[in-house]
Amino acid sequence: MNLKTPLRLLCLAILTSVSLHAIEISNKAGTTIEVELLSIEATRIQIQMANGQTTWLDRDRLSPHSQARISEQEVSLQNAFIEINSILGIELFADTTLWDDAADAVARRLEWPQESKTDSQSSYRYYPSADYRILKTRPYSAVLYSNNGKPQQISIVFANKGDFKFSAPPSTDEIDAMERAVDRDAKQIQTLLSQHFGEPERQQFGAGRGIKQLIDRWDWKQHAFLLAEQDGEYTSLRIMPNSVADNKGRGEKLSDASLRKLTVENVVSEANGDIWVGNIPMVNQGPKGYCVPATFERYLRYMQIPADMYILAMAGQTQIGGGTSLSKIIDSIDSYVSSQNRTMKRINGELKLRTVQKYIDQGLPIIWTMFSSRAYNEFVNQRSLERRNNSNWESWETRCKNETRQVELDQDLMASHACMIIGYNEETEEIAVSDSWGPSYAVRWLPIEQAQQVSQGSIYLIEY
């Protein structure tokens, strides 16, 4: 790289707007500029200029004085990220830039287990024990999201009504204790971050009815720390790139053609006639009744739209112990996906195989509202196990036709649930369902007839 030319071209612009963390560097020809130092490696440095552009410079192109200053800064930067790790209470940073690390390496440092992995997306979610601490505060859920092998965002949820332990029904004292914990956690985290980074900037964040938040924001290098407190709901901290935070967390908008190509490529056809959609992220909702927001998080992320089940739960006014207002969460998500040039679609009526086939063939999963009773799960678990061990598909087809006539599943109104339909088999007249309970429930198969018996009569999907 020729250092001299970019220095001359950018010198005037840079000097008019100097970063608060700027240092002065010069090349061997004596040209001097002020930049923000982002990262230091053995042979090069990464700098950010006043116009926001970042670039790498070879250290041996700098003047001896500047090289000495870089060596001094190297020690200072190392101390800076070590100090931030100490404040957080976790080994998040290995240097001053998180976003160029390998995501699995970050997860190993944190000791957060992998939750999901697709061709492009991964997540590592940890439901820690009661004595685990981040920012001297108990987190109930901590997740690292990644894209193409690189960290994309950290989301940590502290006191919240979904994970808090309540009696059935919850007492007034328990609800008051949860609300106090939400407020206490927010104040503790704000105090610690402000002591290190200074006073935060108050901002609106997110898009869509019920999904927008008022947050406190602190920036360090290329990282934005976003603290949100929703009264009576939760306290959360997200860490993301500055550029993503500047865009209020919205993802990159894909054209209809690009998304259609992506989803169709995810359709898998098996020799036995199974057609199913791959590359759907898994979300483990944990022991709380967050099936609706967790399922929608999976769907949105599959459609390349950032999502978090805790925020979606707030939008759907999920009750203590679970139970989400489907109409409210649909209304909020409809507004949110509209900002991404997508639309929500609802189809009422009998669950039919040809309807499932129509959308699965396009690579579009279906959100299905149904009754997930004990009898239903015992039936689906047993036959899914037998299906995996089956090698004679002619006999399996015969079995499926007999089940249609012999098995009757009742609707348990106390077992309302939402999951995904992700596949079908036209010959055996089965559908594949996926629940937000972790990898063991990523795919289970049942006849369309029994699915109709437990259906609530509505399916939902997001279209191009």
**Is 207's pLDDT higher than 80?**
no
In a domain, 317, yes or no: yes
pTM: 0.82
What digits encode the pLDDT tens for the residues 328-362?
777 777 878 887 888 889 999 999 999 999 999 99
CATH number at residue 455: 3.90.70.10
For the range 196-200, what are the long-range contacts, defined as Cβ-Cβ under 8 Å and sequence gap of 24 or more? 196/83, 196/84, 196/87, 197/225, 200/227
Three-state DSSP state, 298: helix
Same domain, 208 and 277: no
Q: Would you say 141 and 290 are in contact if contact means Cβ atoms under 8 Å apart?
A: no
- Going by C-alpha positions, the residue among 145, 153, 360 that lies closest to residue 274 is 360
Q: What mean pLDDT value characterizes the chain?
A: 88
Q: Please list the alpha-helical segments (H only) found in 198-319.
A: 242-246, 256-265, 291-302, 309-315
Question: How far from each other are the two terminal CA atoms of the chain, in whole angstroms?
Answer: 43
pLDDT score, position 116 = 95
Same domain, 270 and 384: yes
Same domain, 8 and 79: yes
Q: Which amino acid is at 102?
A: A
| Enclosing domain of residue 63 | 4-88
Mean pLDDT, range 189-210, rounded to an integer = 90
Same domain, 109 and 150: yes
Q: Which amino acid is at 3?
A: L
CA 415 to chain centre: 27
Alpha-carbon span 238 to 232, nearest angstrom: 19
pLDDT score, position 73 = 80
